[in-house]
């Protein structure tokens, strides 16, 4: 029997996937499928940290259209990630997976504050840790939060879920002739100004030598296939 390629991973899940086809809010079927895919990997003995986005409720970059201060809007977006984290935690625990939510903004009635050593201890005990509220600071995306948490927990790889199956030269929804990268060096990613992740996140991953795999979870089982060594999505790194 083949063994998982990675022992400890950081999975970044966008907020949009929580809403399914409805485009806003929470879709129970989508959350259940995400949780099943995660449980499948957890059952292999892989230690899993998760950073969730909040785009299915609110994005900080919407501040201009709503005439809201950018910092305030970013905090609103952080709170949206907490909603998604709690929804995912509840679904995972109904599947029998022990889970902890840790938030970068303290809200002790519903989740633990982020404490690095405690998070690592949870992972070592076989619990999934969901990191919510981004970095706790405005002007940073949840992509950057994912790389930061991956560095702190010493994850071997960051798996970033997106709507498309990898990194393209342009948005494939707008340009069907856009070319997909199977692999790309982090420095080349930055030079080409690609939009699959923000530049801060990619720079931080490069500095800490943590590769990023960009893939789609819309096809059931993709997460496990990557963990078992299949080449899916786009590999960003050395």
Q: Using one digit for the tens of pLDDT, what is the confidence trace for 162-204?
A: 989 999 999 898 998 999 999 999 999 999 999 899 999 999 9
Domain that residue 215 falls in: 8-236
Least Cα distance to 159 among 215, 208, 231, 205 occurs for 215
2 assigned to some structural domain:
no
**How many domains does the structure of the chain reveal?**
1
pLDDT of residue 1: 63
36 assigned to some structural domain:
yes
66 band by pLDDT with thresholds 50, 70 and 90: confident
Q: How many CB atoms lie within 10 A of CB 137?
A: 15
Give CA–CA dist 35/94, Å, rounded: 10
Query: Model-level pTM greater than 0.85?
Result: yes
Least Cα distance to 123 among 4, 8, 5 occurs for 8
1 assigned to some structural domain:
no
3 assigned to some structural domain:
no
Measure CA of the first residue to CA of the last residue in the chain; give whole Å.
Answer: 29
User: Which CATH number characterizes residue 231's domain?
Assistant: 3.40.1160.10
Q: What helix, strand, coil percent values describe the chain, rounded to 5?
A: 40, 20, 40
Provide the 3-class DSSP secondary structure of residue 118.
Answer: helix
191 assigned to some structural domain:
yes
193 assigned to some structural domain:
yes
């Amino acid at each position: 029997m083949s063994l998982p390629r990675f022992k400890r991973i950081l999975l970044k899940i966008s907020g949009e996937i929580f809403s399914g086809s409805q485009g806003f809010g929470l879709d129970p079927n989508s959350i259940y499928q995400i949780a099943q895919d995660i449980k499948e990997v957890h059952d292999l003995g892989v230690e899993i940290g998760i950073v969730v986005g909040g785009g299915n409720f609110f994005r900080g970059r919407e501040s201009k259209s709503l005439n809201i201060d950018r910092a305030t809007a970013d905090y609103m977006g952080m709170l949206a990630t907490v909603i998604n984290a709690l929804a995912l935690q509840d679904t995972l625990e109904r599947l029998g997976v022990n889970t902890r939510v840790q938030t970068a903004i303290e809200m002790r009635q519903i989740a633990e504050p982020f404490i690095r050593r405690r998070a690592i201890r949870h992972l070592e005990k076989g619990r999934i840790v969901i990191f919510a509220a981004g970095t706790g600071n405005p002007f940073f995306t949840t992509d950057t939060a994912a790389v930061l948490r991956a560095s702190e927990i010493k994850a071997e790889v960051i798996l970033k879920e997106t709507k498309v199956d990898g990194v393209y030269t342009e948005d494939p929804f707008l340009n069907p002739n856009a070319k997909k990268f199977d692999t790309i060096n982090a420095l080349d990613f930055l030079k080409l100004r690609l939009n699959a992740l923000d530049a801060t996140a990619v720079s931080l991953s490069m500095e800490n030598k943590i590769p990023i795999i960009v893939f789609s979870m819309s096809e059931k089982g993709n997460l496990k296939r990557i963990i078992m060594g299949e080449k899916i999505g786009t590999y960003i790194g050395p």
